[in-house]
Structure 1
Amino acid sequence: FAAVGVASTIAYLVLFLLLRTFTGAQAANLVALLVTAIGNTTLNRRLTFGIRGRRGSGLHQFQGLIVFCIGLGLTSGTLALLHTVTAPGLPLEITALVLANLAATVVRFLLLRGWVFRSRRRPTTEMES
């Protein structure tokens, strides 16, 4: 999970910086986060949670997009608050987004583990064992 998270964060920051050169911070954040969220869900599905094959992948991506919305709320809210308080330069935007992404990563992990990729097997009882 950590390796996927680091790779996703680096990809997010690169995309954000590229997009930020010709668009606003909120639009750059949205596009960069959406692109990396899809890849993050796919990689976590396979590498972190060991789920192979196409079965359930559509549902997992849908649930991953709901998790994405939470992360988008955190990062967009951070940017909005930052721009309300000051006229930040790019270094301050990046710092704020990295911190917001750290919080979003904790939420993402908890939701991916506990909801999106939780084991769907029926628990056995002692009598069934």
Structure 2
Amino acid sequence: MTTAQWSGPRADRGLDVTHPVVWYVVAGVVTTGLQELVFLAARPFVDSFAANVLAIGLTTIANTEFHRRVTFAHMKASVAKLHLQSAGTFAFYASYGSLVLVLLHWLVGSPSATLEAVVLAATSAVGGILRFIVLRWWVFTTG
């Protein structure tokens, strides 16, 4: 018969700001905000699809580099995996965002740039969950 040792209640240490999830969320919020600002700035000059691709293109590389240097700094990453992940992130968000914009235009007809930006921000949040999983368990490994 085995017995379990009771060590008493675990001390709650609160939010650990060094945890990758915290930094990932911070980077995601900042990047999404920057994407939407670039999108809205470009929108008077180009259509929503081009503005979306431009915004994603300008923020993906910086976001991935932030994750390499800060979020997952304690983990190893293959250079090939890192570049593949950046290209995949760009392709995913450009395609995913474009499909969402097509759906929005189909449902609303002629949405405002602000509504497009809000919908793209929500889309980015959903995609960010999948990206964290890819970064954490495929790109940046502990071994």
> Normalising by structure 1, what TM-score?
0.82
- 2:123 paired residue among 100, 103, 127: 100
Q: CA deviation at 1:59?
A: 4.0
8 A Cα contact 2:48 2:113, kept in partner = no
Partner residue, 1:83: 105
Distance 2:74 2:43 in 1: 35
8 A Cα contact 2:35 2:56, kept in partner = yes
How many residues matched? 119
Q: CA deviation at 1:24?
A: 0.4
Q: Counterparts of 1:8-27 in structure 2 under 5 Å?
A: 8-27=31-50
SS at match of 2:126: helix
8 A Cα contact 1:79 1:93, kept in partner = yes
Between 1 and 2, higher relative CO (CA 8 Å, sep ≥ 6) is seen in 2
Percent identity between matched residues is 31
Q: CA deviation at 1:58?
A: 5.4
Distance 1:90 1:67 in 2: 23
Determine which structure has the larger helix proportion and give its number. Answer: 1
SS at match of 1:75: helix
Could you list the runs of 4 or more consecutive aligned residues of structure 1 that deviate by over 2 angstroms after TM superposition?
55-59
Partner residue, 1:43: 66
Q: Which runs of 5+ in 1 are unaligned?
A: 122-129
Structure number with bigger Rg: 2
8 A Cα contact 1:75 1:100, kept in partner = yes
Q: Supply the RMSD in Å over aligned alpha carbons.
A: 2.0
